[in-house]
């Protein structure tokens, strides 16, 4: 058997996996910190994709640089969503909180998707940069620039988030709140503000993921559900709430999908992830990297 196509496939799996990772990290953060299961995460990714698409189309700003705009933009939108909607569920018990946030964000998905159709039509769009399609080859394996840059950006974001959570005061407040919000509140941490910041960071990460999706995939109003499922699969593989775990689980899923093509063919790529997801939920509910 010729190993070159396999290696090429694995390399692409790695790139895709990085994208899965960054798509899942925000969801994992929000779930881990405030037990809010935001199934509108995929729709936020879609919004981020559109934001960077329009910034690129109108102002000609490179999508990778535009992350400096889309990130804060989505951060602000996350604050609006938190104070407008998700603030109300944080008063509930944990189980009720998860259920109600799932329902609310389901309603939000419908709203976001259809507002996007109204504003930007249902057409599929992609960000085509001047260097799209160019790349370098090592051996006989191609490395397209946009994919390499996407993986690097994703990795930088995740490591920056990790540093933020472990090194800064605000980050430690977020982790303390996620472990025990009552105790954190007694230590003088403003729990509501911490929740708001964590939710906004999660939304910003979705925005960045969306920008990367726009460069290497397609954006359309309807991509939300598929990306939500993808992010959920990764989050469950990693264990709910594990940040670094989510990134590595994303990479793992990308590689697994790439390999599954040889067994089941390309049309079943999505099915492999979904079935893997249900199996992990059944067999190892705490996730591959989770501890319980």
Q: Which residue from 16, 73, 104, 206 is in contact with other proteins, where contact means CB under 8 A?
A: 104
Q: Per DSSP, what are the bridge partners of residue 138?
A: 141
Instruction: Copy the structure tokens of residue 49.
Output: 């994709």
Establish if 115 lies at the interface with other proteins (CB under 8 A): yes
User: How many Å apart are CA 283 and CA 239, to the nearest integer?
Assistant: 12
**What is the closest distance, in whole angstroms, from the C-beta atom of residue 273 to other proteins in the complex?**
9
Cβ–Cβ under 8 Å, residues 87 and 247: no
Q: Which residue from 61, 148, 244, 274 is in contact with other proteins, where contact means CB under 8 A?
A: 274
Phi, psi of 25 (to 5 degrees): -60, -45
Query: Helix H segments across the chain?
Result: 3-34, 41-59, 63-84, 94-120, 145-167, 169-179, 181-186, 191-216, 224-238, 243-264, 269-283
**What is the closest distance, in whole angstroms, from the C-beta atom of residue 22 to other proteins in the complex?**
20
Establish if 257 lies at the interface with other proteins (CB under 8 A): no
DSSP three-state, residue 219: strand
Establish if 271 lies at the interface with other proteins (CB under 8 A): yes
Establish if 106 lies at the interface with other proteins (CB under 8 A): yes
User: How many Å apart are CA 262 and CA 132, to the nearest integer?
Assistant: 27
Q: Which residue from 21, 41, 113, 212 is in contact with other proteins, where contact means CB under 8 A?
A: 113
Instruction: Copy the structure tokens of residue 140.
Output: 């006989």
**Contact set for other proteins, span 150-189 (CB under 8 A):** none
Establish if 225 lies at the interface with other proteins (CB under 8 A): yes
Measure CA of the first residue to CA of the last residue in the chain; give whole Å.
Answer: 42
Query: Which range of residues in 67-75, 115-123, 145-153, 177-185 is near other proteins by CB under 8 A?
Result: 115-123
Query: Which range of residues in 10-18, 19-27, 114-122, 181-189 is near other proteins by CB under 8 A?
Result: 114-122
Q: How many CA atoms lie within 13 A of 175 on its CB side?
A: 13
Q: Of 6, 113, 103, 139, which is closest to residue 49 (Cα–Cα)?
A: 113
Q: Which residue from 155, 244, 270, 284 is in contact with other proteins, where contact means CB under 8 A?
A: 270
Residues binding other proteins: number (CB under 8 A): 38
**What is the closest distance, in whole angstroms, from the C-beta atom of residue 187 to other proteins in the complex?**
29
Establish if 80 lies at the interface with other proteins (CB under 8 A): no
Which of 79, 225 has the CB closer to other proteins?
A: 225
Q: Of 181, 219, 252, 270, which is closest to residue 24 (Cα–Cα)?
A: 252
User: How many Å apart are CA 121 and CA 123, to the nearest integer?
Assistant: 6
**Contact set for other proteins, span 15-74 (CB under 8 A):** 37, 39
Establish if 102 lies at the interface with other proteins (CB under 8 A): yes
| Residues in touch with other proteins (CB under 8 A) | 37, 39, 85, 88, 95, 98-100, 102-104, 106-111, 113-115, 117-118, 225, 229, 232-233, 236, 267-268, 270-271, 274-275, 277-278, 281-282, 285
């Amino acid at each position: 058997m010729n190993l070159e196509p396999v290696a090429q496939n694995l390399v692409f799996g790695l790139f895709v996996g990085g994208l899965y990772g960054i798509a899942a990290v925000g969801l994992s953060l929000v779930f881990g910190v405030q037990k809010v299961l935001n199934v509108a995460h995929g729709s936020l990714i879609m919004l981020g994709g559109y934001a960077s698409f329009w910034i690129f189309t109108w102002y000609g700003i490179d999508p990778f640089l535009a992350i400096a705009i889309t990130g804060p933009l989505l951060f602000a939108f996350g604050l609006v969503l938190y104070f407008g909607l998700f603030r109300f569920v944080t008063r509930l018990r944990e189980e009720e909180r998860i259920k109600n946030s799932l329902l609310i964000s389901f309603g939000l998905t419908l709203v976001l998707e259809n507002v996007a159709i109204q504003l930007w039509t249902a057409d599929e769009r992609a960000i085509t940069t001047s260097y799209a399609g160019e790349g370098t080859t090592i051996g006989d394996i191609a490395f397209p620039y946009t994919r390499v840059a996407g993986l690097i950006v994703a990795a930088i974001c995740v490591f920056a988030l990790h540093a933020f959570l472990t090194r800064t005061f605000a980050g430690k407040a977020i982790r303390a709140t996620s472990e025990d919000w009552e105790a954190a509140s007694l230590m003088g941490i403003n729990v509501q503000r911490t929740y708001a910041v964590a939710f906004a960071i999660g939304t910003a990460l979705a925005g960045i993921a969306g920008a990367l999706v726009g460069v290497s995939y397609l954006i359309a109003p309807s991509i939300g559900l598929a990306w939500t499922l993808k992010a959920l699969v990764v989050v469950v593989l990693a264990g709910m709430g594990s940040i670094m775990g989510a990134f590595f689980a994303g990479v793992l899923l990308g590689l697994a999908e790439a390999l599954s093509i040889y067994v089941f063919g390309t049309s079943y790529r999505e099915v492999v992830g979904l079935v893997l997801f249900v199996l992990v939920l059944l067999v190892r509910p705490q996730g591959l990297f989770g501890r319980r």
